[in-house]
Amino acid sequence: MNFAFTADGDRLVVRVDTFTGARFARTVLVPDDAISVTIVRTETSLRPNVEPRSIVRTVTDARAITSLVKLVDGLPGAMTTEIVTSCPASLEERSYRLTFATPNSAYVAWLPTTMCWPSVSLRHNGTKAGPPLDPGRHFTKVVDRYLS
């Protein structure tokens, strides 16, 4: 538990932070020289005999690529310890994969599930690069805009 005190005019404001872990430090970023981004969203039904559905889009617009690179590079490291929480029930699971092609290599940001405690893994040329990342609440919403 952390306590922070700060003055607010003639009042004293106390902030209490409780947590069970810390965030992993970012060690790898997607370079800003990406020339394309391929986005794949896969929806898998948890019902029997239902085939997964995928939507694929390749983005080549420079401004859109820059925005997606900033989105992934802006993700903080995931928490080192999961907080115990309930998970919502769902009949469908979604995963996202963003493949950034650069002149010399490829980076893949992969979110295998949007269910409980999702984390984005980053790979460079097929090898794990850096710690897991926290997608937050906005990651899938932003990526979905590029798929519509």
Q: How far is residue 24's CA from residue 27's CA, in Å, rounded to a whole number?
A: 9
Q: Give the dihedral sign, CA 23/28/34/38.
A: negative
Residue 134 corresponds to which tokens in the numbers above?
Answer: 């926290």
What pLDDT does residue 93 have?
Answer: 87
What percent of the chain stands above pLDDT 70? Answer: 78
Q: How far is residue 95's CA from residue 113's CA, in Å, rounded to a whole number?
A: 5
Domain spans, the chain: 23-147
Mean pLDDT of 14-25: 60
Residue type, 51: E
Whether the CB-CB separation of 132 and 121 falls below 8 Å is answered with yes
Measured distance between the N- and C-terminal CA atoms of the chain, rounded to whole angstroms: 43
What pLDDT does residue 83 have?
Answer: 56
Cα torsion for 61, 62, 63, 67, to the nearest 10°? 100
pTM for the structure as a whole: 0.78
